[in-house]
Structure formats: C-alpha cells, structure tokens
Amino acid sequence: MPDGQFQQDFLNPKSMLTPGFAGGLTVLINNALGSALGVPLNYLGYTALAISGLFAALVLAAGVPLMQRVIFFVLNTLIIFCVAMGSNTTVRELRTTDASFLGLTSPAFAQSNVGPGQVLRDLQGITANPSLSDAQKLDKIQRELNDVRSQDFSRPAGGGFFKNWGF
C-alpha cells in the first residue's frame, strides 16, 4: 500500500459516515419491526445482527477475492451492529435520565395514570380531613408529592420505541 493510501481510503470523513448511517438505519428498522410485529425483546439483538448483515452485504465487491469478501462482510456486519447497538442503548439511557437538572424540561404528567388533577384531589382530601393535625397534614402532603416525583414519567406506556435488545 503506497504511503498515504490508508489515510486517504479509511481515515476521511466520507468513509466514516457509512457505518454511522447504516447503524442508524439498523436501529430504525429493527425497532420499527420489533414494535410493529411484536418481536420478543430477547430476539431483537438477533434481528439487529441480521439487518446489519444485509447492509454489509450491499458493499461486497465482485472483483475482490472470496476470502477477502467474507472478512469484509463479517467486519462490516460487526461494525454496523456495534454502531446500532450503541445508538439504541444511548438513546434508551438518555430517555430514562432525569433531564430536569438542565432546567430545560419538567416532568410530563400526561403520560401517567397520576395527573395533576389526581394529585390535587388527593391533597384536598388530606387538607379536608378533620382528624389530622396540621403537622400530620403537612407530613402526608410531603409524602404524596415525593411519591409523585419519584415516578418515572419519561417513558410512555409500552416502553417506547427504543427497546432493550436481548439475546
């Protein structure tokens, strides 16, 4: 290989886009098929690997010796799969991370069985209870609000689009 050929062929921005693009498409196709067809979570890893193999097969050149094509196929499949797996895991983890510390978002009560109206009714029930002292009412209200805050409102019912791929 002539000097600089490796850098020209592999270490340039154009060649770096392909695995990222194929990995992103693998995530989209795999999660869409998993959601639409109800693929069990423990099979999503296998389907992602198969989809990665299909993308890797697209770049097999006929002019290259068979053994070299097999090696490229395996390596490209694994690279695309790793990009897809990392992307899916990253987005799934970001969705479960509390972003309220950034000050950009607040809890979304609309995706939960417990809405603001239910919380207000519970609080009104506590404050209207004549058998409780003011200190007991305050303590119950604090516990109620802490219970609501501790619930995970970031994930819609059914786990959302990004699933935990299993094997």
| DSSP line for 7-46 | HHHTSSHHHHHHHHHHHHHHHHHHHHHHHHHT--GGGHHH
Within 10 Å of residue 75's Cβ, how many Cβ atoms?
A: 11
Q: Quick one: which H or E segment has residue 12? A: none
5-20 per-position pLDDT tens digit: 665 665 555 566 678 8
pLDDT band at 158; cut points 50, 70, 90: very low
User: Residue 10 is encoded by which pair of tokens?
Assistant: 């592999």
pTM: 0.55
25-71 per-position pLDDT tens digit: 999 999 998 888 888 888 889 999 999 999 888 877 777 788 888 88
Tokens 């770049």, residue located: 59
